[in-house]
């Protein structure tokens, strides 16, 4: 086994918040809209493109922001949202790198130890 991978690494890089945020079709559409516009947008601009109430769009944006997918900046009375490209790319790159290390470790090991304690034989 390589020295780089430690059991639990994958759990450390998998953000349940990010996956929850990106697991909803409306939120994915919002991220897609922001990426397509190539600029920060307000809630009302984004709501115009969706068949969803402004308050629902606002809640979706808040969840994406809490997950680190978006950032918000207030300009006067308007809040503008934009994608945190570097943070999202870094999180996804971390997941990919950890999976690569785990795959290499799996390929290098003869077998993984079976869990103990239940008395049942593990499938091969």
Query: Residue range 25-53: average pLDDT?
Result: 94
Enumerate the H helices of the chain as residue ranges: 9-13, 16-22, 25-37, 43-48, 54-66, 85-108
CA neighbor of 72 nearest in space, from 30, 119, 114, 105:
30
Q: Which residue has the higher pLDDT, 122 or 107?
A: 107
For residue range 52-70, what is the model confidence (pLDDT) as tens digits?
899 999 999 999 999 999 9
pLDDT beyond 50 at 31: yes
Predicted TM-score of the model (pTM)? 0.73
For the chain, percent of residues with pLDDT exceeding 70: 76
């Amino acid at each position: 086994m390589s020295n780089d991978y430690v059991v639990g690494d994958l759990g450390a890089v998998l953000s349940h918040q990010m996956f929850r945020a990106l697991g909803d079709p409306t939120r994915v559409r919002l991220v897609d809209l922001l990426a397509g516009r190539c600029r920060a947008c307000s809630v009302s601009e984004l709501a115009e493109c969706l068949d969803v109430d402004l308050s629902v769009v606002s809640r979706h944006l808040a969840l994406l922001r809490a997950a680190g997918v978006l950032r918000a900046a207030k300009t006067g009375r308007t809040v503008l949202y934009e994608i945190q490209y570097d943070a999202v790319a870094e999180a996804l790159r971390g997941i990919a790198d950890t999976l690569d290390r785990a795959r290499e470790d799996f390929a290098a090991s003869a077998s993984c130890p079976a869990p103990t304690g239940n008395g049942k034989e593990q499938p091969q």
